[in-house]
Amino acid sequence: MSQQISRREFLKLLGAGAVTTAALSGCASATRLVKREPYTSMPEYTLPGTSTYYATTCRECPAGCGLVVRTVEGRAIKVEGNPAHPVSQGHTCARGQASVQTLYNPDRLQNAVRQAQRGSGKFDPMPWDEAIQVVQDALANNDPDSIAFLLGLESDHLADLVNEITAAMGARAPYRFGALGMLDARNTLVMANVLLFGHPGLPVFDIAHAEVTFSFGANFTETWLSPVFYTGAYGNMRKGTPGQRGYLVQFEPRMSQTGANADEWYPIKPGTEALVAQALGALVAEEIGIPTEGLFADVDVAAAARESGVSEEDLHRLAMMFAQSQRRVAIPGAGALGHTNGLDAAKAIMGLNILVENLGKSGGVSLMPESALGNTQMPSTLNDLTSLVEKMNSGKIKVLFIHGCNPVFELPAASGFADALQNVPLVVAFSSFPDETALQADFILPDHTGLEAWGYQKVSTASDRITLSSLQPVVVPVQDTRATADVLLAAVQAIGGDLAKQVPYENEVAFIKAKLEVLVGEDGYYAASDANTLWARWLQVGGWWDSDALLIAPDLTHAVEVLQKQPSALPAAAFSGDEAEYPLHLLVYPSPNLGDGRGANNPWLQETPDPMTTVMWNSWIEISPDLALELGVCDDDIVRVTSPAGSVEAVVYVYPAIRPDTVAIPVGQGHTALGRYARNRGCNPLQLLDIQKDASGNLAFAATRVKIEPTGRKHQLARMEDRVGVYGDRYGELYR
């Protein structure tokens, strides 16, 4: 506990019966005057024993779920969903629930620090005015071309502000990166949307009303795009429409939690998703009597069946089911798009939607209209990030500001980002935690965590209407942190001149208020006739959204034309690693509990069992029982996993629902920093990935092959399930 007087201790003090009014010194800020008051006249909102609720937005992933946080006497106690919010609809996921442990995490940075030697972990505290001076000097004394910002996928208000600053300076627009975006294959999906519909955004899939859903590797109840929204949609797909139980078919090499809930699960060969979609499309077109042109012309169904492992009989039956149902949707998920032919797979799978003309319809595919605050800036492609790494290596980047992401941990080692950092003279990280990237910085100027922060998130997908979600602090900052937007604005104001005129905001809140002016008088969930009313309602309601569901129907004619011009012979997926030396496909997926790894220092996320394996506090490699017998390994054996790009050690979990030629490792563990609960636990499979891209420039994260060698050592995984009787009688040897 810091030596400052916390709200709670303060209440203890006044419990002693002090009725006189006094100013206490030693509080966090000189401007904060604390008065002793009797219980009978407490400050507004802080009646002892009474909860106060604040609406805000979750920052544990980019989805932008609306929260209502219960606070008691100045402490954040419980995260709940915002019932009025179109994304979360009153619910939360495990990661959102645990965000109070991000806020009160014992390993947070307590103030701004200077790190004399990068990687040493020896931090010298520095006052905030010096920290702002560092930013000011960096911005003022460097060529704008040599300054780069690397931002995370949340919050959007900071991305908007940095875009304004870089535009005013003539510097490069910020890069945006997050492992969740990378492992969702967001860029590929956006690119497919641009090519097919001319829309630079993500599609929205109306799973809730679909009778038949074909999901190609979309783990939408776990981490994909917006898990709370899509899990709600899943529940309604099953039971939301009286007399209808939606049917889910999942195609993926390793059974995800979403796949476990599917009515039919097909373990197709990695990289053959496009072939399956093409075959289904050709059969669907035949069934509904439309000519097959372009992408779906002359498809060899027998060959697709042979390649993918789905029988011809099943393909015919599934195509009939899709063609004959009233509302059907096909989802191009991350597993399908994370291959070198990912963009083709996206087009082929979206092609199924185009064939059955479900665009803009109930149970179909729609697009998110542009909000009054503009479109969300999409994540940078791996191509963009590779060019950033090249610029860093060639010495063209003198200053790198990093906020909201942990690229040293989240980017594959093969990308060379960590090494390139050494060639940047000044690295400033704004991380709230001493994570792997922050440890490679010269200065760490910690931002507030989500529950202490102002901001907004422009919901880019997974809502049925335009949604702007607001963030407000639910408690005063726990540590001596400062909002990155405030730090940047203070530096800009100190620089003065044209820059300060073009970015004239006094602080973060002034910036947000200025952005919100366009909403004054707009008709939505509420209408506010003036800026102050809007601000009050914005904070009270938790954002701004349309009063009615409203999405755009994609342009069918254009999409059909594109598909007609597309040749039906598609390139096969390419893999890194020779098949003879590296016989196994590696699949990495974000851990449903830990997400991209930032949750790894939240003890309750560590102790929440993984949905499929029930493992806690560690990571593992999923190996099919047959492969385990072949390799002579069993549960809890440590094996060495080697790819052309790297090598890690992982503990075996014999997983009965994975192809024998595929192994899978969750992303999220394997931290060397971040905090006591995260450090030295499990492995980080991103270090195994070779750099392979698809046509959109996104990382083909499923395109690396590996080999496995037993080490002879064991580590007993903490799992909730019993160890005996899980795999059936054939595999008795696995119980050794």
Residues numbered 82-121 forming contacts with another protein, rule: CB under 8 A = 88, 90-94, 97-98, 100-101, 103-106
Q: Which of 277, 605, 673, 699 binds another protein (CB under 8 A)?
A: 605
Size of the site for another protein (CB under 8 A): 83
* Alpha-carbon 602 to chain mean position: 17
Smallest gap from residue 89 Cβ to another protein (A) = 8
Residues 6 or more apart in contact with residue 217 via CB below 8 angstroms? 250, 251, 252, 256, 273, 333, 334, 335, 336, 337, 338
Nearer residue to another protein within complex by CB, 524 or 597: 597
The interface with another protein within residues 166-205 (CB under 8 A) comprises none
Contact between 713 and another protein by CB under 8 A: the answer reads no
Cα dihedral 530, 45, 540, 85, rounded to 10, equals 180
DSSP for residue 552: B
What are the residue ranges of helices labelled H in 49-116?
Answer: 94-97, 99-103
Binders of another protein in range 515-574 (CB under 8 A): none
Per-residue x/- track, 608-647, another protein (CB under 8 A): xx-xx-x-xxx-----xxx---------------------
Q: What are phi and psi of 49, to 5 degrees?
A: 80, -5
User: CB of 83: closest distance to another protein in angstroms?
Assistant: 10
Contacts of another protein in 240-279 (CB under 8 A): 245, 255, 257-258, 260-267
Strands 662-667 and 147-151: unpaired
SS3 state at 706: strand
Window 285 to 344, contacts with another protein (CB under 8 A):
none
Site for another protein (CB under 8 A): which residue of 12, 35, 78, 118? 78
Q: Choose between 98 and 516: whose C-beta lies nearer to another protein.
A: 98
Tokens of 107: 């390993």
Residue-by-residue DSSP string for 587-651: EEEEBTTTBTTGGGG-HHHHHSPPTTT-EESS--EEE-HHHHHHHT--TTEEEEEE-SS-EEEEE
Q: Where in 361-380 is the site for another protein (CB under 8 A)?
A: none
Contact 281, 261 (CB under 8 A): no
Instruction: Give the footprint of another protein on residues 659-698 (CB under 8 A).
Output: 681
Omega before residue 6 within 30° of 0, cis: no
Question: Using the rule CB under 8 A, which residue among 166, 603, 661, 710 binds another protein?
Answer: 603
The interface with another protein within residues 37-56 (CB under 8 A) comprises 49
Residues of span 3-32 touching another protein by CB under 8 A = 6, 8
Among 332, 592, 666, 685, binds another protein (CB under 8 A): 592
Residues 6 or more apart from 533 whose CB is under 8 A from it?
none
Please give the structure tokens belonging to residue 302. Answer: 């027998």
Which amino acid belongs to residue 327? R
Q: Which of 720, 725, 724 is nearest to 593 (CA)?
A: 720
**Site for another protein (CB under 8 A): which residue of 718, 732, 733, 735?**
718
For 388, the token pair is: 């950033």
What's the min distance (Å) between Cβ of 354 and another protein?
Answer: 27
Q: How far is the CB of 76 from another protein (least distance, A)?
A: 7
Q: Could you tell me if 223 and 180 are in contact, meaning their C-beta atoms sit under 8 angstroms apart?
A: yes
Shortest distance in whole angstroms from residue 332 CB to another protein: 20
Site for another protein in 466-525 (CB under 8 A): 478
Under rule CB under 8 A, which residues in 205-234 are in contact with another protein?
221-222, 227-228, 231-232, 234
Q: Which is nearer to another protein, 570 or 664 (CB)?
A: 664
Residue 75 C-beta: closest distance to another protein, Å:
5
CB of 1 to another protein, least distance (A): 5
